[in-house]
Amino acid sequence: MPARLRMAAAILAILLPLAFLGCSDDSSTVPTNDDTTRTGLAQGEINDTLGSFEIRTNAGPDPSRPLPGPFLIKGENIAWVDSMDALCVDLLLENISGNTYAEPVTLTFTSLLPDSAMVIDGDGNELDVIDFQFANDDAMWTDGEISLPVTVYFTNVVQGQAVGFSARVDVGMMPGMGSIGGLVFEDLNADGVRDDDEMGIGGVGIALGSDIMMPMQTRTAADGTYRFDGLDVGLYNVMKLPNERLRPTTPTQLQVILSDDGEGGVSSFMDANFGCVVLSPPDSIPPLVAPGDCVQVTGTFATDPDRVLAFGIDREGDCEYGDHDKDGDGDHDGDHDWDHEDDDCSFGELRGPVTDINLDENTFAILGTWIHIGDETVDPMKGEDHGDGDDDEDGMDCRDLTLADLSIGDRVRVRTTTASDPGDEEMIQGYRLRCWTNRWSKVKGIVETVETDDDGHVTSFTILRTTIVPMRKDRMMD
């Protein structure tokens, strides 16, 4: 546990000078992680056709600073329940980290797709945090130990359609820890003060960041309230996330200090409130992407059907979800390989797992998309300096590959000479096949097709015949 802060005042809330300003996602920088943090992050989908699933959490967003973990999220007995008009699943957690942790063990769904989806229990109560129990009573979660199942229901969803989610597993948040919470309210007179007739607003995104923990996100309940629990002594930044239907009338960020309560616990602060004017819905919603846009996507690969669950969508190759050139190669993709024309779509590119191989046809599938690699394929950049002074070598500890080198599951990257025409049956031509060591999958090219819902929000689109599913609208880049 980090060293406790000794302060005379129990709680101090400091308003940042950000009043009346919307906040872009760039302002919510991922904080430095403390090695004592016990958190696992996961993304995936739940579908009543699966029957069961297992998703391994990531141990933190920065592979160079691994955190304790990972854990395994299991779903069993997935079925549609007509009486509740909901998708039902029995959730379990397994410790596969090799470590032992103190209980409690909790799971929080930080994001759901569609946005209308809610998680409830059998009595219809909304579940903000799912607390798992175990067969023994030793208060410790040992390696290999599996929790007892918790039955949850996803409501406000459509039968037969998958529910996408982002989730966080937390362990060792013992009783006596602090909480931060508050209310997002409709400020009818726009004076920045909540009056008795001003009600809460549900479904608004709230983020919490600190130097001593992983970033956390939640959404306000139907009555506009929210809360974060299990917090240690420290300084926290609370932010109301941007929302196209709301105009803030109060500061959109607050700093809150939680201190020792003098009784061995941590103080709490439950008045981190945000006021907003609810705007009239626009006649039309600007599209996230449109056919012909040059776009780079970052996300995770999922199967049945094959698709990329995108948490980062960058127009014109801005690469905002890369490594911001930490590797000093002149671009932002984290691979130590400077990409010529990285900011346009003069070539397409796929990076991720190999899903199939056909040596007889000189073809393979990456992210479920088939690519032809032929001897006649010429690398348009061969012999040019890639920015690291070694001609056609890219500086990675990875040689140029052939199809014979590949196995299903290998992570590779391949360029395509042109963006594909979705109506063209000819296979995409690839070149410059190399290994890809980053855990995220990436797709870059021209948007071919776009699917939207009745409200005009983009539900999926294709690049290089690869299906992209945006996981969260509020994380998309302009």
Residue 6 is assigned to a structural domain of this protein: no
Same domain as 332, residue 254:
no
Based on the fold, state whether residues 308 and 274 are members of the same structural domain: no
What confidence tens digit (pLDDT) does each residue in 425-473 have? Answer: 678 888 888 888 887 899 998 898 998 877 677 888 999 999 998 875 4
Structural domain contains residue 413: yes
Same-domain check for residues 317 and 244: no
Q: What is the pLDDT of residue 457?
A: 77
Structure tokens at 365: 């599938």
Distance CA 130, CA 73 (A): 12
| Domain final position from 220, 254, 278 | 278
- Give the lowest-confidence range in 40-54, 183-197, 237-251, 271-285: 271-285
What b/e string do you get for 272-286 counting C-beta neighbours within 10 Å, with b at 16 or more?
Answer: bbbbbeeeeeeeeee
Closest CA to 94 of 43, 27, 143, 154: 143
Q: What is the pLDDT of residue 299?
A: 84
Confidence of residue 17 (pLDDT cuts 50, 70, 90): very low
Per-residue pLDDT band at 300 (split at 50, 70, 90): confident
| Residue 32: domain span | 11-278
Domain boundary residue, one of 228, 247, 278: 278
Q: Residue 324 phi/psi, 5° resolution?
A: 50, 40
Position 357 scores a pLDDT of 92
Decide if 4 is inside a domain: no
- The model's pLDDT over 163-178, given as tens digits with 9 standing for 90+, comes to 998 887 878 755 557 8
Edge-to-edge strands of the sheet including 118-120?
53-56, 71-81, 86-95, 150-155, 118-120
Query: Picking from 146-155, 339-348, 352-361, 396-405, which range would have the lowest pLDDT averaged per residue?
Result: 339-348
Q: Please give the single-letter amino acid code of residue 96.
A: I
Domain end, chosen from 229, 252, 278, is at 278
* Strand boundaries in 233-334, DSSP class E: 234-240, 246-248, 253-258, 274-278, 294-302, 307-315
Q: Answer whether the bond into residue 282 is a cis peptide, omega within 30°.
A: no
Condensed to tens digits (0 to 9), the pLDDT of residues 314-333 reads 875 433 333 333 333 334 44
- Tell me the residue length of the chain: 478
Residues 213, 163 share a domain: yes
Pairing of the two strands 428-435 and 369-372: parallel
Instruction: Please check whether residues 199 and 304 belong to one and the same domain.
Output: no
Task: Place 21 in a pLDDT band, splitting at 50, 70 and 90.
Answer: very low
The verdict on 271 and 397 lying in the same domain is: no
Pairing of strands 234-240, 294-302: unpaired
CATH of the domain at 133: 2.60.40.10
Cα–chain-centroid distance for residue 38?
Answer: 18
Using alpha carbons, select from 380, 382, 388, 384 the residue that is nearest to residue 400: 382
- Express each pLDDT in 56-77 by its tens digit: 887 544 333 444 457 899 999 9
pLDDT band at 398 (very low <50, low <70, confident <90, very high): low
Q: Report pLDDT for 280.
A: 66
User: What pLDDT, on a 0 to 100 scale, did the predictor assign at position 284?
Assistant: 47
In sequence order, the 6+-apart residues with CB closer than 8 A to the CB of 456 are 284, 285, 287
Of 37-41, 370-374, 460-464, minimum mean pLDDT range: 37-41
Residue 61, pLDDT score: 41
Asked if residue 5 is part of any domain, the answer here is no
For the chain, the 3-state helix, strand and coil shares in percent, each to the nearest 5, are: 5, 40, 55
Q: How confident is the model at residue 134 (pLDDT cuts 50, 70, 90)?
A: very high
In terms of domains, do 433 and 357 share one? yes
Residue 138 confidence class, pLDDT cut points 50, 70, 90 = confident
Residues 270 and 308 in one domain: no
Structure tokens at 307: 């698709």
Among 340, 366, 344, which Cα is nearest to 293's?
Answer: 344
Average pLDDT over residues 121-141: 88
Q: Looking at residue 160, what is its pLDDT?
A: 86
pLDDT tens per residue, range 189-214: 889 999 888 999 988 999 999 988 87
Condensed to tens digits (0 to 9), the pLDDT of residues 265-295 reads 788 898 999 999 988 655 544 567 888 888 8
CB neighbourhood size of 235 (10 A): 16
In a domain, 68, yes or no: yes
Residue 395 vs residue 142, higher pLDDT: 142
On average, the pLDDT of the chain sits at 75
> 256 and 357: one domain?
no
Q: Tell me the CA distances in angstroms from 46 to 105, 200, 262, 355, 413, one per residue in order.
A: 21, 30, 44, 21, 28
**Structure confidence at residue 309 (pLDDT):** 85
Q: How confident is the model at residue 38 (pLDDT cuts 50, 70, 90)?
A: low
For residue 34, what pLDDT is reported?
34
CA distance 447 to 464: 8
> Which distant-in-sequence residues (6+ apart) come within 8 Å of 256 by Cβ?
11, 12, 13, 14, 180, 235, 236, 238, 269, 272
**The model scores a pTM over 0.85:** no
Would the pLDDT of 376 be above 60? no
**Average pLDDT value for residue range 346-370:** 90
Domain count of the chain?
2
Whether the link from the prior residue into 61 is cis, omega within 30° of 0, is no
